[in-house]
Structure 1
Amino acid sequence: MNRILLTVLVVVLSFLLGVAALSLWNSHREEQRVHEEATILLERVRNVMKLVTVEGDVSEIFHATSSRTVTLYLPLPSQFSFDKKATVEVRGTVLVGYDLEQLDISLDPDRRVMTIRNLPEPEILAIDHEMIYRNLDESWFNTFSAEDYSRLNRRAKERLHDAALESELMARAREQGNAVIDGIGYLAGSAGYELVVEGSDLPAPVVRD
């Protein structure tokens, strides 16, 4: 009888210890949960009139180095330079086209003339990019901060912008823009209108009777 009672006590005690361990483990898991909170702010909504004519993918690897001079007393004051270096690969999609906000199109039914004014030049409308940090090398007295990462991000976007300006994207965007004007001229000519583009050397389409 004593043996049976002892066995029952051992089983009950093991069960209680298991429940306590499980509760402690669940409590530890709850403490380790990552809490994320996002706040979306919609500051302004505006209408835009932009025509994207060319899209290009650009990628580049660039290196950035920043030095910091620190004075240490050993026991005499001595200056030491500590560097931090970053190797970043940036990939992006560049959208090139026309901002048509100032474009003005008017019709003269009596003269059968369609006039386009303020035809803009092609420009970079948007850059969608991502960064891949290939290497980050920092020193004890010169570490990377949140401001450093923001600066690298701005610099990466600037490099994509400069690379796009030096590429053939602008010329191709202008060709596509001219093709759009030619299409408008064809439609205007089909309706018996003459297309006039002020400030442009584009030839006027033939008016169809």
Structure 2
Amino acid sequence: MDSNTLLFFILSLAAGAGLGAAVYYSLSKRNTPSGNTQAEATVLVERIEKVFKVVMAEGYFTEIYNYQHDKSIWNLINDKKKALIIAKAKVLVGYDFGKMRFHVSGSNRKIVIDYFPEPEVLSMDTDYKFYDIEQGWLNRFHSDDYTSILNEAKQTMNEKALQSDLPRIATNQVQLMMFQLAASMNWKVDLQLPESNRKDLAEYTSYRPTDAEIDSLNPRRD
């Protein structure tokens, strides 16, 4: 291959590479969404704690929350805002064993429970959707309104969970687990609870029929 042919070959490669780069740049620019989107996230770990919490029951709840707020302007105009919120939640109920007090009688191979905590909501995963949002000219929704509505809906979910059979299921589950685990190691569990503690736990040791009730969907007015 003479020098002229080699030079032509190199120039052809360079031209082809340049054309390919131009085509790629044009296509990538065409497929790139217009605008300049920037996102930045900062995660801060405040503290880490050791816990001994055991989930014994989980339940799924749906709440229909009808919100309405009326605002009177000079007693002449009634300006209102309202929204329909459907909230769904997965609630985990169990025990925080860090709150339990006990001592061990090694000679009798016995674990004596001096205080047994009540079941509690350990976590709640929630999902909210807003429907039929209406607002007036002056009485409008703000970020604080949404925060307040969601907090109240979550509090209602928490109360409903504790009023359901979840705490009773959790209590029966944890006692079954403790007695079976102790028996498998030839130990015994002795509940020597104070009278007040025994009374608090008495309502969680037996089941009651779960009645399905439909709450009224009348608007809640502030």
Q: Which moved more, 1:88-97 or 1:39-48?
A: 39-48
Aligned to 1:11: none
Aligned to 1:163: 160
Per-residue CA distance 1:153-172 (angstroms, 9 max, x = gap): 10121121122122211221
Q: Which has the larger radius of gyration?
A: 1
Gap runs ≥5 in structure 1: 1-21, 72-77, 203-209
Per-residue CA distance 1:110-132 (angstroms, 9 max, x = gap): 33332223211111111110101
SS at match of 2:172: helix
Q: How many residues align?
A: 167
1: CA distance, partners of 2:167 / 2:110: 30
Task: Give the fraction of aligned pairs with identical amino acids, expressed as a percent.
Answer: 26
Q: Which moved more, 1:136-145 or 1:32-41?
A: 32-41
Indicate conservation of the 8 Å contact 2:70/2:81, yes or no. Answer: yes
Aligned to 1:195: 189
Change (3 A) 1:113 1:171: closer
Taking the TM superposition and a 5 Å limit, the aligned residue runs for 1:41-120 are: 41-71=44-74, 79-120=76-117
Q: Which has the higher contact order (CA 8 A, sep 6+)?
A: 2
Aligned to 1:149: 146
Aligned-CA RMSD value = 2.4
- 2:114 corresponds to 1:121: no
SS at match of 1:121: coil
Gap runs ≥5 in structure 2: 1-25, 202-222
Q: TM-score when scaled to structure 2?
A: 0.67
Per-residue CA distance 1:19-78 (angstroms, 9 max, x = gap): xxx9xx98xx65x3332222222212111111110011111111011122223xxxxxx6
SS at match of 1:83: strand
1: CA distance, partners of 2:101 / 2:164: 30
SS at match of 2:184: helix
2: CA distance, partners of 1:126 / 1:173: 14
